[in-house]
Structures are given as structure tokens and as C-alpha cells.
């Protein structure tokens, strides 16, 4: 693996782990102002504020979040990560298989797409009252 590929992978892992720790104020250091984040099948938002707008309410009920990286591949400035997202809720852990595709330019994420099966998570996630 090239040094550039290792740097890209470390950047993405650091970003995901900061989001998992609910450190949403760190998003601007990882994400470009025009980043397109598509949480398939949910929709697309832009920039660090869009990322925060999606993830902050999602992570709100979690006590802890963990990402288990299964496979990682880099092609130029694109990083593919197959992972298992683990979310600790008051009544136990919920696991969601996810594949993320990230594009990094000039040290910032400019495109992020997460692919997952929505019913897998929604069947186990706390619903608003």
C-alpha cells in the first residue's frame, strides 16, 4: 500500500471515529464545504453542517458507537470501506453492515456515500414517541 493510500485510509477512519464519538464540531476539519454526503437510501446533504444535520440526531440515542472495518480499498483519491457499524443503545447493541465510498481532495472529504439496508436499522432503532 502506498503512503498516499495509507494517509487517505487514516483520514477516513479518523473522521468516522470522531463522528462515532459525537464530535460533530470536528467535521469541518475533515469535510469540504461543498462535500456531498449521500446516506443511501435517505438522501443527500452538503458540507459539514449537512453531515451534522444527518448524524447528530441519528447518534443522539447512542451510548457508544464502534466501526469494525471489514475491507478497505483505495483507487486514486477514492476510498471504499466495507464496515460493520455498531451502536450501543440503552437496551443493547445494534449492528448495521455498511459500505462507504469516500472521495478525498486536498485533505478533505468531497464526496461520501453510505450504502446500507434501511429496514435492518429501522427495525431495531428507537422510534420517536
Q: How confident is the model at residue 102, as a pLDDT?
A: 97
Residue 129 in domain: no
**Interatomic CA distance for residues 56 and 23, integer angstroms:** 9
Q: How confident is the model at residue 3, as a pLDDT?
A: 62
**Sequence-ordered list of residues with C-beta below 8 angstroms from that of 100, at least 6 positions apart, any chain:** 12, 16, 79, 80, 81, 83, 112, 113, 114, 115
Give the total number of structural domains in the chain: 1
Residue 128 in domain: no
Residue 24 in domain: yes
Q: pTM value?
A: 0.90
Of 50, 20, 66, give the one whose Cα is nearest residue 110: 50
Q: Using the CB atoms, write b or e for 69-98: b if 16+ within 10 Å.
A: eeebebeeeebebebebbbeeeeeebebeb
- pLDDT tens across 68-90, in order? 999 999 999 999 999 999 999 99
Residue 57 in domain: yes
Residue 95 in domain: yes
Q: How confident is the model at residue 127, as a pLDDT?
A: 66
Q: How confident is the model at residue 62, as a pLDDT?
A: 94
Neighbours of 128 (CB within 10 A): 5
Q: How confident is the model at residue 126, as a pLDDT?
A: 73
Q: How confident is the model at residue 120, as a pLDDT?
A: 83
Residue 15 in domain: yes
Q: How confident is the model at residue 119, as a pLDDT?
A: 81
Residue 127 in domain: no
Q: In which residue ranges of the chain is pLDDT below 50?
A: none
Q: How confident is the model at residue 125, as a pLDDT?
A: 78
Q: CATH code at 63?
A: 3.10.450.50
Structural domain span for residue 46: 3-122
Amino acid at each position: 500500500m502506498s503512503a498516499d493510500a495509507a494517509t487517505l485510509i487514516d483520514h477516513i477512519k479518523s473522521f468516522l471515529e470522531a463522528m462515532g464519538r459525537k464530535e460533530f464540531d470536528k467535521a469541518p476539519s475533515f469535510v469540504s464545504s461543498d462535500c456531498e454526503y449521500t446516506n443511501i437510501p435517505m438522501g443527500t446533504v452538503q458540507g459539514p453542517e449537512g453531515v451534522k444535520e444527518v448524524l447528530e440526531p441519528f447518534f443522539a440515542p447512542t451510548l457508544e458507537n464502534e466501526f469494525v472495518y471489514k475491507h478497505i480499498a483505495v483507487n486514486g483519491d477514492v476510498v471504499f470501506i466495507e464496515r460493520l457499524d455498531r451502536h450501543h443503545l440503552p437496551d443493547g447493541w445494534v449492528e448495521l453492515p455498511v459500505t462507504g465510498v469516500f472521495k478525498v481532495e486536498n485533505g478533505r472529504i468531497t464526496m461520501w456515500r453510505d450504502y446500507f439496508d434501511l429496514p435492518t436499522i429501522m427495525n431495531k432503532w428507537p422510534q420517536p414517541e
